[in-house]
Amino acid sequence: MSFQFKILIVEDELDYQQLIKKHIELYFNNIFYDYEIKLVSEDFNNYENYKNAQIIFLDICLKSHNGIEIATKLKKENSNLLIIFISNINSLVFDTFMALPFFFIRKSCFDKDFENMSIQLRNFIDRHMKILELRINGRTTKIHINEILYVEAVLREVRIVTVDQEIIYKSSFSNFLKLYSNKTLIQIQRSYAVNLSQVKSVGSSDILLSNNEYLPISEKYKKSFIEQYKKIIYFKFDT
pLDDT for the residue numbered 236: 35
DSSP H stretches of helix in the chain: 14-27, 67-77, 110-128, 173-178, 219-232
Q: What is the pLDDT of residues 129-157, one digit of tens each?
A: 677 888 888 888 888 787 899 999 999 99
Domains and CATH numbers, the chain: 5-128 (3.40.50.2300), 131-232 (2.40.50.1020)
* Sheet with 166-170, side-by-side order of all strands: 166-170, 157-162, 148-154, 192-195, 185-189
Q: What is the pLDDT of residues 174-225, one digit of tens each?
A: 989 887 655 678 999 999 999 988 888 889 899 999 899 999 999 999 998 9
The one-letter amino acid code at 45 reads N
What percentage of residues in the chain have a pLDDT greater than 70? 90
Contact between 152 and 158 (Cβ < 8 Å): yes
Q: What is the DSSP string of 119-145?
A: HHHHHHHHHHS-EEEEEETTEEEEEEG
Interatomic CA distance for residues 229 and 28, integer angstroms: 28
Q: What is the pLDDT of residues 98-129, one digit of tens each?
A: 898 999 999 999 999 999 999 998 888 776 66
If you compute the radius of gyration of the chain from its CA atoms, what whole number of angstroms results? 20
Lowest-pLDDT range, 25-34, 141-150, 226-235? 226-235
